[in-house]
Amino acid sequence: MQADWRIFSILGIPLYIDSSWLLILVFVTIINANNLSAGQLSDINSVTSWIAGFIMAIVLFISVVFHELGHSLVARNQGIKVNSISLFLFGGVANIEGESKTPEEALQVAIAGPIVSILFFVAFSLVKLLFLSASLWHFLIQDLAKINLFLAVFNLIPSLPLDGGQILKAIIWKITGDRNLGILWAAKAGKIIGCLGIFLGIILVIFSGEIGGIWISCIGYFIVQNDCECQELVEVEKYLLNSIAKDIMNREFEIINAKLNLKDFAELYVFETANDLPCLAAVDGCDRDSIVKENLQLIAPDLRSDCSLSHLILPIAEKHLVEEKTSLIEIIKKLETIDNRCIVVISGVGTVAGTIDRVDIVRAIASQHNIFISEAEIDKVKQENTYPDRLQISAIAEGITY
């Protein structure tokens, strides 16, 4: 996820905080201040309670950072790049670029965070013995231990992207030899747990008036949403692996005589047409030249009658051509390395069979898996030559080797 503020780096890894995490800071401060006032330390004044509550919230922040740092350092030791650590409403995430090569390595990355939290729990549990049980320091350190134990236990829930889900994924991957099957099992388990969390939270609110039930339901909803996205990404990856150019290419394109003047071309194919079909130029019987419509703006309108279409023609290099049987993964990788917006697909007899651009790829995936893609997202794909972030198409393709 993309967080709002970069605050510092730790061991060379940038640390970001999302604005939503400020809600946790306030929430934890209030809860701890109230606990101090109502608990064994009821004799302390309100100012001290609030200061101590804020300190506990900051310690939660530090505990989450070290938890995610555990994942990050193990991943980096495996040669995987760690882009950053981000904190947001429901905790933290290590933004790791890539996947462990084996299930054993994936398991090591997954368990590193809970191990760090458990070590902190043990350390703070021992340190609290140095202080009187009725003292403020004993109370604070005891809470530090509880926070880290909670982090470890909560993250071991078998749901993606939590550590428990990653552990389950690695185990299924090891047993079956199929990483995607591991993700699917973890995602299904997570959706069940998330639904139970939503239901439990609602029950608590209705029958006991426990406001904390709202938070449990929110976490359950977050878990369900993330597991649905993980399952969706697995389906996208399977589709990309099993598709070829012929399956998704756009068969609607224009072949235009290169002798046509620019004035007529503009009227017929730029201003008057309601579609945005790819245009190819026929030059001496060859239709392997693309027409760059954008360059029309470089020629003054009063000069267009005397200029032929050849002013907009750009010969298609071999690196911009693919055969109908070319894998979709290869096409996605090729689009990342060329300047052209689209790839031209050549038939078995050497003629143009169709074209493929990023919009074609996004629409094919959306149609295959009933994923809603808004027109705003499609426009962004056209204008910026990027894919919707939630589909992670470039990352999936980059991670697949033959």
Question: In the sheet that 352-357 helps form, which strands lie side by side, from edge to edge?
Answer: 321-323, 342-346, 352-357
Of 276, 255, 252, 269, the C-alpha closest to 354 is 252
Q: How far is CA 76 from CA 140, 157, 216, 349, in A?
A: 33, 24, 33, 49
- Encoding tokens for residue 282? 């026929």
Quickly count: other Cβ atoms within 10 Å of residue 231's Cβ: 19
> For residue 58, what are the contacts with CB-CB under 8 A and spacing of at least 6?
none
Q: Which residues of 368-385 are buried (b: 16+ CB within 10 A; e: fewer)?
A: eeebebeeebbeebeeee
Residues written for the chain: 402
DSSP state, 244?
A: B
From the candidates 68, 105, 232, 377, give the one annotated as an active-site residue: 68
Rounded to an integer, what distance in angstroms lies between the CA atom of residue 158 and that of residue 164?
A: 4
Region for residue 256 given its phi and psi (left: phi exceeds 0; alpha: psi -120 to 50; beta: otherwise): beta
Q: Residue 230's closest CA among 399, 391, 394?
A: 391
Q: Which of 15, 19, 1 is nearest to 84 (CA)?
A: 15
Q: Which three-class secondary structure state does DSSP give residue 45?
A: coil
Q: Is 229 a catalytic residue?
A: no
Q: Token pair for residue 111?
A: 């368990």
User: Which amino acid is located at 249 in the chain?
Assistant: M
CA atoms of 133 and 128, how far apart (whole Å): 8
* Residues labelled catalytic: 68
